[in-house]
Structure 1
């Protein structure tokens, strides 16, 4: 007998969905209905037929696996009509035996009716759209960085040593020189005259660095790369304007997040895009940290605890938190900066960044949950002073214990 059959029924009528690219297998189970399994297509018209089928049977709850990206359109169509649990595929793994789509959907339905499934976090539509925009912006920035590297490779191929003299090839002077080369200018003397600011004193060095072998091929490639970078910059500008519209609707939450050390407007946008502004989905800050993958996992055997790495979690959120941690580590009069320095001295800067990122995420959780700003710097100083006094008291007790040991 299947052990699930013995569990009490929590939900009266439910449906288990096994989602694929082109089909959705639905199994319904529950009180006063005939257990059935039907297959539907993933076109919107077919999904609307699925809605009618489930409503006619009185189904109130649906459980489905998070299969690649195929679950998304199905979830978005059904979420207005049913209570949906999106579950991790590892949590609904079937018992050993023959595996079919029908058995998978039936097994999911059994677990759903017994209340044995825990839904994953799926943000509301506005947050989902902000998430797509923010992630796409990050990918465009990576593409622009790749184009910059290609441009510098072209300059090196032409033996133009601009990067050896200019600290930033894409600063005012560097950009002006690259644009001049792309327009066909090859004279090192004329190119060095484009120097601005402190680089005016380095015209002689620039002239030597700009003496190379520029061919028509190099000019063509520079024009191509510059056009690509301009196109990417225009896309980034459009996305940032679109992101600002979403942030304006959450202006209070953005301002609260900005009170946390290391958090800028872009960092705040990244945090809101991944976790939203409603912390009701996360029971505690520890649950959020575990979901994000910024806390270590458990690795214990026979009463011994072993070293364990952080979990996979949300890679986009982790990247954002590490950026915030690096910024916080350079802040003045900040407890997080002092903590980063302490951890980095013992375990290295990478682990220190992750630890401070964990603290920033915890702070963001309470800031968004309670709708209150982060502690002010004066309050931070008071807490730091309390910790310093407690440490002095602890060291004095240890010294007193050592004296009593040696005297005896």
Structure 2
């Protein structure tokens, strides 16, 4: 037998003071080890006073660690209360819990969780520190508001198209300076296309004549009314987003100011749509101690989304491999009988992973950095999907080491990357030639070839 055989010890109880909680909308079931109280399983309502009573009962039973399933958002109140009372709380992924075979009922779920936790068979999900959780809440809410606002932009486009006002054909963004001035003038009653075209910003690529031509339409009162309400909704969500940005700015100010010597060389990115209404790059530098926007493809919004999901403490992941595995950016090979039967990455809804993929995709268009060259090489060999995953994986590794070691990122450029890749290919060719009993010599253009 080629494989090494070792003796397995019997399962031993690791967490002797463990409890399990099954969370529902109206009540929770809590299980403790037998003998800690007259009843080892108790039911509590989900009101705050009853959750406090649950924590007191667990203290009475001398419990030190508690495990629970991540059921929707129902787990958040009891998790925070137990953590406030000093318990070690394990938030367990439901998918991982189902992989452990065992018969359960609705009442005995908590006992099953408690038993698994006693034997150390449950793994806690990552949850960032409280200050990062607060920032994450605002960032996620901001993303929701941006999505709601986008729906009303679509309503505006539909109303314009129904009146055959082809503003979308001459403006790349109807919510830009030129577009919003024209739309607001239409709502106020202006119908002359040349007067409307006069609102054209000097940076607009199309001239006034072409814009005026696109504004010759059939104005219908009901569609103008729809356009008016859509603009009002758009303005409402824009105001909401600005208020969220104010809250975020106040939270970032709690961190120490950045090092001026390093910060003055901070890379400036071209402002893009949905950007924050304050200097987000400065605030993120205060928070992380490094400038993540120096990484090609990572702008302030992407850096904010990543940091709000992972925090700044990389000690939660022992190695960079653990970190990329948590992000589901590493291979998930399925092996049976010593053979790999399936490869690929696992599906995930991790918002940090999504942000890293967006950053990777942004490198596909004429980016002259080393990361851009890496993306294009992988894309030519394996296609765009694999290229995005591989580049996102590389960006994740860079972020991990920047946050862990507090070091800056310096792009060595496309030429450096291509030269290093050329050296790898030459080294591989030398090795292949040696395997066949040959050796390689560089070709000298001055020496003519012998036919």
What is the CA-CA distance between 1:273 and the residue it aligns to? 0.8
Aligned pairs (5 A) from 1:145-224: 145-197=150-202, 202-224=207-229
What is the CA-CA distance between 1:299 and the residue it aligns to? 2.4
Aligned to 2:314: 279
What is the CA-CA distance between 1:398 and the residue it aligns to? 4.1
Q: CA contact under 8 A between 1:254 and 1:265: conserved in structure 2? A: no
Find the partner of 2:96 among 91, 97, 113.
Answer: 91
Aligned to 2:327: 292
Find the partner of 1:131 among 136, 144, 153.
Answer: 136
> Which structure has more helix as a fraction of its residues?
1
What is the CA-CA distance between 1:254 and the residue it aligns to? 5.5
Q: CA contact under 8 A between 1:85 and 1:118: conserved in structure 2? A: yes
State the alpha-carbon separation in 1 of the partners of residues 63 and 102 from structure 2. 28
Which is worse superposed, 394-403 or 150-159? 394-403
Aligned pairs (5 A) from 1:6-405: 7-29=11-33, 36-81=40-85, 82-93=87-98, 95-97=101-103, 99-197=104-202, 202-248=207-253, 249=255, 251=286, 253=288, 255-330=290-365, 333-374=368-409, 376-378=410-412, 385-398=419-432, 404=438
State the alpha-carbon separation in 1 of the partners of residues 204 and 24 from structure 2. 60
Q: CA contact under 8 A between 2:290 and 2:402: conserved in structure 1? A: no
Pair 1:286–1:404, CA change in 2 (3 A): closer
Q: CA RMSD in A?
A: 2.7
Secondary structure of 1:38's match? strand
Q: CA contact under 8 A between 2:370 and 2:412: conserved in structure 1? A: no
State the alpha-carbon separation in 1 of the partners of residues 212 and 97 from structure 2. 67
Secondary structure of 1:39's match? strand
Structure 1: which 5+ residue stretches go unaligned? 1-5
What is the CA-CA distance between 1:193 and the residue it aligns to? 2.5
Q: CA contact under 8 A between 2:297 and 2:363: conserved in structure 1? A: yes
What is the CA-CA distance between 1:364 and the residue it aligns to? 1.1
The alignment's TM-score, normalised by the length of structure 1, stands at 0.88
Aligned to 1:3: none
Pair 1:88–1:171, CA change in 2 (3 A): closer
What is the CA-CA distance between 1:235 and the residue it aligns to? 1.2
The alignment's TM-score, normalised by the length of structure 2, stands at 0.80
**Cα deviation digits, residues 260-307 of structure 1 (max 9, x gap):** 222222222111111111122222222222222223322233333244
Q: CA contact under 8 A between 2:155 and 2:227: conserved in structure 1? A: no
Which is worse superposed, 191-200 or 175-184? 191-200
Secondary structure of 2:246's match? helix
**Cα deviation digits, residues 211-256 of structure 1 (max 9, x gap):** 1111211221111011111111111112122223333426151634
Secondary structure of 1:255's match? coil
Kindly tell me the number of residue pairs found equivalent between the two proteins: 398
Secondary structure of 2:31's match? strand
**Cα deviation digits, residues 183-206 of structure 1 (max 9, x gap):** 111122322222232659733322
What is the CA-CA distance between 1:386 and the residue it aligns to? 4.3
Secondary structure of 2:14's match? coil
State the alpha-carbon separation in 2 of the partners of residues 146 and 243 from structure 1. 24
